Amino acid sequence: MPGYEARIVGEDEQPLLAGEIGTLHVKGESNALMYWKNPEKTATTMLGEWLNTGDMYFVDEEGYYVNAGRGDDMLKVGGMWCSPIDIESCLIRHPEVLEAAVIGRSDDDGLVKPAAYIVAKNPDVDRDAMSKDLQTFCKSELAGYKYPRWFYFIDDLPKTVTGKVQRFKLRMLQD
């Protein structure tokens, strides 16, 4: 967009190479100066001329910016950023899955791994068998670190009135 610049940075705030997932920063004349009466949020979002969007992006091989999800939804699995959207897209390609949502869950060693919430097309499905089938399916379609380790079957995903999955409600189910 004319008048704006964008960059993708890593955790050290340094620009990343094409293909690497990082946080999108934008700069332009219409950027806000601060959050009203919220200096903590201002300090983490307004970085001089740059605005930290909180969105995770990467630049593809053609130079296009590709959204990988909200930063607070992203998972760091085995030291690699992982977008729940990638895993969910794989899961909904399975013929028995109506809807899917993915969040992070700590394993017994305290390491974050993907956990999937599934709305099955057939609510009477054998959940153990389907879990094994979904795990095999994901392993064949995704990078090794991305496959879900746990599957939870629910009747409906919690959503906003606009249809966005409320991942925080799924995280609350883990507590």
How many other CB atoms sit within 10 Å of the CB of residue 76? 13
Each residue's pLDDT tens digit, 92-146: 999 999 999 999 999 999 999 999 999 999 999 999 999 999 999 999 999 999 9
Residue 61 has pLDDT above 80, yes or no: yes
Residues of the chain with CATH 3.30.300.30: 75-174
Amino acid letter, 175:
D
The phi, psi pair for 135, rounded to 5°, reads -65, -45
Amino acid letter, 124:
D
What is the pTM assigned to this prediction? 0.76
Q: What is the CATH number of domain 4-70?
A: 2.30.38.10
Which residues are CB-contacts of 81 (< 8 A; sequence separation ≥ 6)?
21, 22, 56, 68, 74, 75
- Find out if CATH 3.30.300.30 is the number for domain 75-174: yes
Residues of the chain with CATH 2.30.38.10: 4-70
Which of 140, 138, 141, 130 is closest to 113 using CA atoms?
138
How is residue 112 written in tokens? 């974050």
